[in-house]
Every structure is written in structure tokens, then in C-alpha cells.
Structure 1
């Protein structure tokens, strides 16, 4: 099963790569914004959710607590063990390109990881196609992608450009979309904002919305922590971000983008 992931990606997650990333700062904003979008686009509980690439269950746990029937599919056995220990969550080792799930098996499918760890376009389309196969008519597929310009901006926010090894990493992402590094994150594909909708449509989905997750606010540094420390200010920030989340001009400045679609009549798994 480990062969599902590139060795450097598997090593990154074995080292606990993402276990605390969503706990504070830009990661916390990413979580809160993603959760806010999910509360508005998912069918009502107790709908079934297939969380593909769901890792340790950072979204699966709260979804189960909210009454959803949640199953995590992830290629990292340690992630699966952690997710399966959460109340109300089941978890299975599996590959986004060939899901261990029947046609029309879920009311919603989340792709919160696979799309940026599959470097080849054909593999990403296969993951979208599998999501289209297993989602029920009237259901929803939500895919998360990392923005093409994320490392370009992050280098200035965190002063990574002081290290001469960083600029070639950025150049690779800008020119080919491929981020190759074992120091800053790991191997990943960074989508241009125009790409996810095209990939999803090719896989048999009708794209309903594209949403900027963090907007440029992920780059404001310590000010973001100050806002997140206040429930009132956090609530106001989330309210304002909802108003501009579908503004096309902001997609390229957000660290992550959510692409939201539904199965097209006649798509795989549709009678």
C-alpha cells in the first residue's frame, strides 16, 4: 500500500508532517474556512461522506460529531489507524485513483489531499473520476488544491528566500506546477486556479463553484494570530470572507482553492 505515494511524500507524513499544521496561524484559517464552506455545501446529516486522503481525521472527526456517516480512505496506514480511533469514523487504506468503494456509495466525497500529491494530470483526473463514480446523483464532490503561487508568496512571508535552495523550488512550481522539496513541504502539484475545474469536468463532474479558502489574509503574519485569538473577530473575519470567496480575482492569491462539483448525468456510476 505504501507504493501509492511517492517515497518522499510518505516519509513526510510518517514524520507527522500535517498533524499540527491546522492548529494555528494560516493553517487554522484554512481549517475554519474549509469547515465553513462544508457546512454550506454538504447535504444535511446523516448523509454519508467519503473523506479521501482524510489523513488523521481532522475533518472526519468533526463531521462525525455533527451526525455524518464518515469513512476515511487514506494511503498512509498510520493515518488510517488514527482516523479509525475517532468516534463515529471508519477508515480504510486506499488510493484516490482506485477507491475501495462501490458506485454511488456516498452522498459527498472530499478530496482534501490527493489532488496536490498526484503530480501527473492523468492521475488527478483519475481521482476526480473515481469521486464522480462513487458519489450519488444529487451529491457533491469537494476538491482542495494548493495555489500555483503559494510558495512564491510564502517565501516572502517567512523569509525563505534567504536560503539559496528555495528560489529553484519556486521556479519549478511557477513554470511546471511541480513543487519539489524535502525541506519546504514535500513533492506536490500546485494548480493554476483555472486547472481544477477543467480536470473535474473532464472526469464527469459539473463544477458549481470555486472558492478562495484563505484569500490573501493567510499572508498577514502575527496579525492573523491576534484575530484568531478572539472569537468575535474570527467570526467577523469569516463573515466577510464569505462575501468575497467566489471572487475570481482572489483565487490566485489564496493559498488553497476549493472546487465544488456534482455528478453529471451519464457520468461513471450514473445509470
Structure 2
């Protein structure tokens, strides 16, 4: 088994922030848009879905409720305990680069957490190849990454640029995608790799997957601050927003403005 998370990243997730991040406040937009893409991408139930980096089961729960058989693989023991207690979900500690699963054993593989914590491209390709190995021929792999420009835009939105340490961190991220606190105690998101919008589909293709396409998750809507909450809290406005974000999700000129991106790819059928 390869080494999983660094102590810094493990400590970040052991704080428990994943329990509520996607169910409260602006994080709801990320969940709603990701769920929208999944419902249009995954095979019909019942399917066996491997949720790699599935954390506390935020997507595993509704997938199981929809009739799928879901197995979560996550490097954080606390996440595994929580997700494994959900009805219809099994869970195990594991690493995206060395999945404890048989070849072709899943109808779909989700990589909604691992790729942005693998700073080396070789490690990301290994994770992609492991997903390609365990998904059945013709099956789908859906992977999430953080946009190269997310920390810059977040710093403008939330006023973080008043801190010189944040400025330095963003300067490095814009240069090579490395989001690093350089030995400091993390005050923002933990160390990670932020992808240029062109990168994830290229990684998927190099790993042997085909028909890779990348879509924006939040698009530019996450930058609207308090107004976003008004839309999320209103049934009509929320529906209008989600409809329009779906219509422009693949627009190349908007990909970099999204905080998160999803790449959908397939294992060749033959």
C-alpha cells in the first residue's frame, strides 16, 4: 500500500469540515451541480459505484438511496467510519493510487477528492489508471479537480489578499498549480494541486480513458457572494440558476472561472 495523506492534509480532514461543507451555505451549489452531472452521467440503477475519496458519504448516501451499490474508499479513517454506517454503503480505508478492488469490478468510479491532493503528475496518472483498471469496459469515470484560479478568485471575494502570506501562496499556485502553505499552519484550504482547465482531460486520456470532457461545476456563480445564498434559498431562483449553469457548463471561456471542474471519461468498451 502506498503512503496516503501527509500529516497536514490528514489533520485538515480530521477537523470534520467535510461533514457539513456541501450541505450549508455556498457549498450547496457545488453539491447540487455535481449531483446534476452525476445523474446525467452514471449508469442507471442498480449499478456498482466505487466512490474513491468519498469522505463522509455526501454522494454515497443519495446514490445508495437511488438503488446503487456504493463502496467508499477513503484515506481518512474517520470518513470511513461515517460513510460505512450509511444504509447501502460499504467503506474501507484505501488510497486512490492502489485500489483494493478487482479489475473491471465497478460500473462507475468517482474520483471526487483524490486528484487535488496528488501534487505529482505521475501520482495523478496512477490514480486515473487505477480507476480505469477497476471500472468495467465501457464504464464511466468521473473526477473532480480544483481550478487553477480558485484561490485567486476566492481571495478577491473574501478579502484574503490583505494577508501577504496569501498573496505569496496564490502567486505560486498561478505559476505551477501548487497550493502550498510552505510550512505554515494552514489558515485556508490545505496543501493541494490546482489544475489548469486543460489538464484533467489530458491526464484521463494519457491513462487510457476515452471521450474525456470537462465541465464547470459552479461556473462563475460562486463569485456572487451573498446573492448566491438568495438563489440557493429560493426554489424558483435555484432552478433557474441550475438550468443556466447546465447550459454553459462546457463553455471553454467559463471553465477557469469555476471553483471546481468535473471530467467525465470512459474505459474503452473493447
Q: Secondary structure at the match of 1:130?
A: helix
Residues 205, 212 of structure 2: 8 Å contact kept: no
Deviations 1:228-257 (A, max 9, x none): 111111111111111111111111110001
* TM-score normalised by structure 2 residue count: 0.96
Residue 269 of structure 1 is matched in structure 2 by: none
Residue 62 of structure 1 is matched in structure 2 by: 62
Residue 32 of structure 1 is matched in structure 2 by: 32
Aligned pair partner of 1:190 in 194, 203, 209: 194
Deviations 1:174-233 (A, max 9, x none): 111010131111010000001101111111101342110000000100000011111111
Distance in 1, Cα, partners of 2:2 & 2:16: 16
How far off is 1:164 after superposition?
1.6
Aligned pair partner of 2:216 in 212, 215, 227: 212
How far off is 1:20 after superposition?
1.7
Residues 25, 221 of structure 1: 8 Å contact kept: no
Residue 89 of structure 2 is matched in structure 1 by: 89
How far off is 1:172 after superposition?
1.1
Residue 49 of structure 2 is matched in structure 1 by: 49
Q: Secondary structure at the match of 1:144?
A: strand
Does residue 1:249 correspond to 2:253, yes or no? yes
Residues 138, 268 of structure 2: 8 Å contact kept: no
Does residue 1:176 correspond to 2:176, yes or no? yes
User: Structure 1: 5+ residue runs without aligned partners?
Assistant: 267-271
Distance in 1, Cα, partners of 2:255 & 2:212: 15
Distance in 2, Cα, partners of 1:17 & 1:8: 14
Q: Secondary structure at the match of 1:228?
A: helix
How far off is 1:27 after superposition?
1.2
Residues 200, 207 of structure 1: 8 Å contact kept: no
Matches within 5 A, 1:106-185: 106-181=106-181, 182-185=186-189
* TM-score normalised by structure 1 residue count: 0.95
Aligned pair partner of 2:225 in 215, 221, 224: 221
Does residue 1:100 correspond to 2:100, yes or no? yes
Residues 2, 97 of structure 2: 8 Å contact kept: no
Distance in 1, Cα, partners of 2:6 & 2:212: 32
How far off is 1:261 after superposition?
0.2
How far off is 1:24 after superposition?
2.8
Residue 203 of structure 2 is matched in structure 1 by: 199
Residues 64, 88 of structure 2: 8 Å contact kept: yes
After the TM superposition, which parts of structure 1 deviate over 6 Å for at least 4 consecutive aligned residues? none
Does residue 1:78 correspond to 2:78, yes or no? yes
Residues 56, 80 of structure 2: 8 Å contact kept: yes
Residue 233 of structure 1 is matched in structure 2 by: 237
Deviates more, 1:17-26 or 1:174-183: 17-26
Distance in 2, Cα, partners of 1:87 & 1:236: 32
Q: Secondary structure at the match of 2:164?
A: coil
Residues 138, 269 of structure 2: 8 Å contact kept: no
